[in-house]
Copies of this chain bind each other. A is one copy, B any other.
């Protein structure tokens, strides 16, 4: 006998262990959106012709398969390990970062500072000056997280001894990784550090990480990140910049596992206090889950579905399902339409940054903007504006995933499967919810809002795909 059972029936939970593609999980009605009429593909003959080449049944079939893979992906939290023990390609002197590949010289100041902080945290140098020496002497190897099944928000720095969430996509067997979210204060992810930063990272390495490892080693696979995401979407989160509910849900799942594993009460208290005051704590876990799903969905020949978008304050990179290991790269966009704290403007800001756009790539964040009315002000208005924007996002995707319902859109599913053809044809680009960091040290966050993915990487990808398909025929 169930009590108050009916109240939760509207919540669409994740279809766990879906054996094969449930056609009924995705809907494909055409979305009517209010936008100024645009000349298709901006009037470029080259693009219009390229779009014609890739508007065909082969691509449709490939996209269907890609989205099937996305929907059948089942990310499960299986552990927490030191990065160097689990991430392929991570050497003893590796430092991984967000976005496309970077040399030290091309890193934005925030990423550079975070790298120096990681070097000190790892004990490879005592202070900023000697850390800089370590870099100049080529004693560290840089590589993008995305090349190693990993993701990190903002600067996204991962160094060898940091604990990482280990998420396995049960359907396909691949794994993905992300660090613990540092929360507020002076932090590496926000591109800065001081003694408190290093102290917190040490606590992660010595206490938080090993405690969660102990808990998950004992009860591996009991936490399903997409189940938390589905619930979070019905509780005011878009699970990118607002993760308040998802974090609370994660805490209530995690605590019994920690207690069962015999973690000290004082450590549990400190860990829960830290998580409870960090409303983006669950972000990194959700990102790892998304990464595990998108990596498994990548690689279907002829697919025009986006499988990664990522930025690092310098470059913006786009990966497309049917275009193999190519990354389409352009400048990371300036954050012109964000809301800035008093006294700051886009002039002060690092450009768009972080692997966290894997959230939008998978169909959350900006794709489920209407689920978080508390951030409706990001798009200059109320819930109505948020819903309108969300409809625009739906218009550039393959369909809507019923597993992830948006309450304010009368439980329409989340827009899923960003299609480069639809982006280029309509010139509607994905929005990416984001925080904004100052260029200089000692300031940190100066705003928040939405970034717009740059159209030209989508154009490059459309041309590349058209070329590939023409060559084959």
- Residues of A in contact with B, size category: 35 or more
A365-382 residues with Cβ-Cβ distance < 8 A to B are 373-375, 377, 382
Q: Are B251 and A255 in contact (CB under 8 A)?
A: yes
Q: Are B1 and A236 in contact (CB under 8 A)?
A: no
A190 in complex: contacting residue of B3, B253, B262, B373, CB < 8 Å: B3
Q: Are B273 and A256 in contact (CB under 8 A)?
A: yes
Contact of A125 with B by CB under 8 A: no
Q: In the complex the two chains form, what is the Cα distance from A190 to B11 in whole Å?
A: 23
Q: Are B234 and A255 in contact (CB under 8 A)?
A: no
Q: In the complex the two chains form, what is the Cα distance from A339 to B6 in whole Å?
A: 9
Q: In the complex the two chains form, what is the Cα distance from A266 to B265 in whole Å?
A: 11
Contact of A248 with B by CB under 8 A: yes
Q: Are B7 and A279 in contact (CB under 8 A)?
A: yes
Known: A260-B265, A276-B253. A4 touches B241 (CB 8 A): yes
Determine how close the nearest CB of chain B comes to the CB of A318; give it in whole angstroms. 25
| Identical copies in the complex | 2
Q: Which residues of B contact A2 (CB under 8 A)?
A: 184, 444-445
Q: In the complex the two chains form, what is the Cα distance from A3 to B382 in whole Å?
A: 23
**Smallest Cβ-Cβ distance to A247: which chain B residue:** B252
Known: A245-B245, A252-B275. A186 touches B6 (CB 8 A): no
Q: Which residues of B contact A242 (CB under 8 A)?
A: 7
Q: Are B10 and A375 in contact (CB under 8 A)?
A: yes
Q: In the complex the two chains form, what is the Cα distance from A442 to B1 in whole Å?
A: 8
Known: A251-B251, A407-B383. A445 touches B268 (CB 8 A): no
Q: In the complex the two chains form, what is the Cα distance from A448 to B5 in whole Å?
A: 9
Contact of A40 with B by CB under 8 A: no
Q: In the complex the two chains form, what is the Cα distance from A280 to B5 in whole Å?
A: 10
A252 in complex: contacting residue of B8, B259, B272, B445, CB < 8 Å: B272
Q: List 12 A-B contacts (CB under 8 A).
A: A1-B186, A3-B185, A4-B279, A4-B445, A4-B448, A8-B374, A231-B244, A234-B236, A245-B245, A255-B255, A256-B269, A259-B269
